[in-house]
């Protein structure tokens, strides 16, 4: 037995406001629609609507069945679209927002590869550290290194973890010494990241599931993480940076890590997108690529050698 028989017709009649108005939408005669609804009522054992030549009204059972039918048909449509998405080549436009430096250094190469792999994909990428309203601004996906907003209508997936480190140039360490405790940081010059008058605290795990902020004496504030690493490499002081950002400086000997015996902060990076009944192929392939490749680029589970 086809459990969906008559349901689509019933919903169309309710949406149209009557049998006559539904004939064009369903491309069926009024009598054919009437017989279909009658068979549905007979199968269910209830009267769904009262109909005359001039009026159409739902019964209480009809109201309840209509609401449930809407959800059922929506699920069926979503399943069909999801199946079509699985078998189709990713295509269409994707508006994406990513953090400025992390986006350029880590996310952009993945997007470039996808653009080469799927010629029908079109990417519109914004590199910014400002707070983005994904719904209001019409983004398909955002990548963020902060806690997720407590907001309905959003889906998220952790795509990477980032490990922080404190470092300085060899010349600075030779002249000023190496800090041995977190409190020692306050006796050194610091290059800190800040935006809109707010600086980012240098955080470490407190051993109880939370974090503690190391005291800092700021020598220079910049709103660009790459500039902070360059300033530290030039000898201006200590800086607190993601390991993926300073790795080349460390390998080339321009920076050295300090306080390595203290457990570093490791934080999550998320892909966030508007919740929908199904995930389009273009969105799925991007999220999967980020989750697959970013962990190897951020290197959160190992020290820089």
The span from the CA of 215 to the CA of 191, in Å, is: 13
Of the candidates 203, 200, 221, 199, the one whose C-alpha atom is nearest the C-alpha of residue 212 is 203
Task: Give residue 82's pLDDT.
Answer: 63
pLDDT grade for 305, boundaries at 50, 70 and 90? very low
The span from the CA of 18 to the CA of 55, in Å, is: 8
Which of 87, 107, 137 terminates a domain? The answer is 87
Q: Both 143 and 251 in a single domain?
A: yes
Q: Both 58 and 169 in a single domain?
A: no
Mean pLDDT, residues 266-275 taken together: 92
203: which residues sit within 8 A by CB, 6+ positions away? 164, 211, 212, 213, 214, 265
Q: Both 81 and 120 in a single domain?
A: no
Q: Both 114 and 75 in a single domain?
A: no
Q: What is the pLDDT of residues 142-172, one digit of tens each?
A: 999 876 666 678 899 999 999 999 999 999 9
Domain contains 170: yes
Lowest mean pLDDT across 14-18, 116-120, 269-273:
14-18
* Angle at the Cα of 292 from the Cα atoms of 290 and 294, rounded to 5 degrees: 55
The span from the CA of 253 to the CA of 249, in Å, is: 6
- Percent of the chain past pLDDT 70, that is, above it, reads 91
Q: Both 100 and 148 in a single domain?
A: yes
Mean pLDDT, residues 27-36 taken together: 87
Domain contains 221: yes
Q: Both 146 and 289 in a single domain?
A: yes
Lowest mean pLDDT across 23-37, 94-108, 167-181:
23-37
Provide the number of structural domains found in the chain. 2
Mean pLDDT, residues 243-267 taken together: 93
Mean pLDDT, residues 230-244 taken together: 95
Residue 299, domain extent: 91-305
Mean pLDDT, residues 85-99 taken together: 82
Q: Both 180 and 226 in a single domain?
A: yes
| CATH code, domain carrying 192 | 3.40.190.290
- Helix boundaries (H) for 88-214: 100-102, 108-117, 170-176
Which of 87, 104, 134 terminates a domain? The answer is 87
* Angle at the Cα of 98 from the Cα atoms of 92 and 102, rounded to 5 degrees: 130
Domain contains 1: no
Q: Both 126 and 57 in a single domain?
A: no
Q: What is the pLDDT of residues 53-76, one digit of tens each?
A: 667 788 888 888 888 888 888 777
The span from the CA of 162 to the CA of 142, in Å, is: 17
Task: Give residue 171's pLDDT.
Answer: 96
Q: Both 193 and 257 in a single domain?
A: yes
The span from the CA of 164 to the CA of 266, in Å, is: 6
Which of 60, 87, 114 terminates a domain? The answer is 87
Q: Both 175 and 71 in a single domain?
A: no
pLDDT grade for 283, boundaries at 50, 70 and 90? very high
Q: Both 207 and 282 in a single domain?
A: yes
Model-wide pTM > 0.95 = no
Q: Taking a C-beta distance cutoff of 8 angstroms, is the pair 300, 243 a contact?
A: yes
**pLDDT surpasses 90 at 117:** yes
Q: Both 179 and 293 in a single domain?
A: yes
- Helix boundaries (H) for 17-99: 19-26, 30-44, 60-87
Crossing angle for the helix pair 30-44 and 19-26, to the nearest 10 degrees: 100
104: which residues sit within 8 A by CB, 6+ positions away? 127
| CATH code, domain carrying 50 | 1.10.10.10
Domain contains 190: yes
Domain contains 2: no
């Amino acid at each position: 037995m086809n459990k969906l028989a008559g349901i689509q017709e019933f919903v169309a009649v309710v949406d149209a406001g009557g049998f006559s108005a539904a004939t064009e939408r369903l491309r069926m005669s009024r009598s054919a629609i009437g017989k279909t609804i009658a068979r549905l009522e007979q199968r269910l054992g209830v009267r769904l609507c009262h109909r005359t030549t001039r009026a159409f009204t739902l019964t209480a059972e009809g109201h309840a069945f209509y609401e449930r039918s809407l959800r059922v048909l929506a699920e069926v449509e979503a399943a069909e679209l999801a199946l079509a998405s699985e078998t189709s080549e990713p295509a269409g436009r994707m508006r994406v927002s990513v953090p400025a430096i992390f986006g350029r250094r880590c996310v952009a190469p993945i997007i470039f590869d996808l653009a080469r792999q799927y010629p029908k994909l079109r990417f519109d990428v914004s590199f910014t550290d400002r707070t983005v309203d994904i719904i209001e601004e019409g983004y398909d996906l955002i990548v963020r290194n902060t806690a997720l907003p407590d907001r309905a209508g959003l889906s998220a997936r952790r795509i990477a973890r980032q490990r922080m480190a404190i470092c300085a140039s060899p010349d600075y360490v030779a002249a000023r010494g190496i800090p041995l405790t977190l409190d020692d940081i306050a006796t050194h010059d610091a290059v800190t990241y800040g935006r809109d008058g707010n600086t980012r605290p240098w955080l470490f795990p407190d051993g109880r599931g939370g974090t503690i902020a190391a005291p800092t004496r700021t020598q220079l504030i910049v709103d660009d993480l790459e500039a902070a690493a360059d300033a530290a490499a030039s000898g201006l002081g200590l800086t607190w940076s993601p390991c993926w950002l300073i790795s080349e400086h460390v390998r080339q000997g321009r920076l050295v890590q300090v306080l390595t015996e203290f457990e570093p902060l490791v934080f999550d990076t998320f892909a966030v997108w508007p919740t929908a009944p199904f995930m389009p192929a273009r969105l799925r392939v991007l999220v999967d690529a980020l989750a697959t490749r970013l962990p190897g680029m951020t290197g959160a589970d190992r020290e820089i050698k």
